[in-house]
Structure 1
């Protein structure tokens, strides 16, 4: 059967989701648990390649396996063999040809900002602190300029394979900024992303919130395709893969 899983994880202690030679990955850690439960190590297909330090609230992956364990009991079985910073939230069966990455319709990322001069003693590992007050209304106006189909090369870090192939057009269907007290959240939903795109987008919105850029500057930044005109790449620790959406028919076994 083909199983589709939903995972949440704290990316602080990992080099990213993808297996890499330079550190411990979420994928390798998950496969260790899979091997302990199933007695085999099936290939897994992740919905995305989250970078080092990036977290996930609703990461999706799939794998094929023959097991007598009912899908509803797999989360408990796997979580017994996973470290506390990785948790399987749900499991379902999907069609044999389902692929967690290629079947994804959209992915939503959340970037968390603590807009205060002093860090929180409780969750400083899960946001970026910006000490000076940000203008969230200006940030929201700028966020709307990113919605649509654009060439996002200006929001792409060096070393991107997509950029090397000239594949830098993406469609953002939603981008918004909300404030709750000292917490400023940036949410982006798109059909795909370039390398560090959300962290650069968030950095650009912070420049607008600080008054160093204007919402009206965003279209020219995108048209320029010039990375130097956009804002800084914010730290990975504030970024979360919030959810992945699939067409309803894709998730029906």
Structure 2
């Protein structure tokens, strides 16, 4: 993206909380050849709402293809002499975003904030079911396991991921400089009560 000439004295800084269904997107980050990504749709919508390209966006993190996000933050750098009316902007932004992306809130920040360095923890949720095959509408949200699973044994195994470990063997093509050590505060398997729908499996 070419944001155009930025007038530093007119720069405004905002944080926007987003959520999106990632099933039709090739991840967050903008890709060549107009491949549909969440960032591409966000930038396109912002250009329409602002009627200019004097802005840029940074995300707190990136997602892979088809990954959905319940809550994440992006930082908006807006160069405009007119003060942004945040409530009206949020309404206009949501009205023009595609239906599988929603802005939850917006707040003002300043030039000293860095959304990439700010996150302290990330939470990943994986939905799956086994035994009876689920309704096809579930396919974009969860994995169907054909064989019957030993959930109690899996719950025991999940706890082994907790703590600080070197996850080199889980890393795709790591180099000598790839950081592969991470700390997992908690890892567990439980019955899903976070997301519900009348076509979801019973468990």
Q: Taking structure 1 as the reference length, what is the TM-score of the superposition? A: 0.66
Q: Structure 1 residues 35, 151: CA separation in 2 closer, same or farther (over 3 Å shift)?
A: same
Larger helix proportion of the pair: 1
Equivalent residues of 2:127, 2:192 under 8 A apart: no
2:23 match: secondary structure: helix
Q: Structure 1 residues 7, 133: CA separation in 2 closer, same or farther (over 3 Å shift)?
A: same
Aligned with residue 147 of structure 2, among 122, 132, 138? 132
Q: What corresponds to 2:138 in structure 1?
A: 123
Aligned with residue 21 of structure 2, among 7, 10, 29? 10
**What is the root-mean-square deviation in Å for CA atoms of aligned residues?**
2.0
Unaligned runs of 5+ in 2: 1-11, 194-200
Write the mapping of 1:1-253 to structure 2, written as runs, cut at 5 A: 1-22=12-33, 23-41=35-53, 42-65=55-78, 66=80, 67-158=82-173, 160=174, 163-180=175-192
Unaligned runs of 5+ in 1: 185-253
Q: Structure 1 residues 82, 136: CA separation in 2 closer, same or farther (over 3 Å shift)?
A: same
Equivalent residues of 1:147, 1:172 under 8 A apart: yes
Q: Distance in 2 between matches of 1:101 and 1:115?
A: 37
Q: Distance in 1 between matches of 2:172 and 2:101?
A: 28
Larger Rg: 2
Larger strand proportion of the pair: 1
1:107 match: secondary structure: coil
The size of the alignment, in residue pairs, is 181
Q: Structure 1 residues 20, 183: CA separation in 2 closer, same or farther (over 3 Å shift)?
A: farther
Higher relative contact order (CA 8 A, sep 6+): 1
Q: Distance in 2 between matches of 1:150 and 1:72?
A: 44
Give the C-alpha shift of residue 40 in structure 1. 2.8
2:70 match: secondary structure: strand
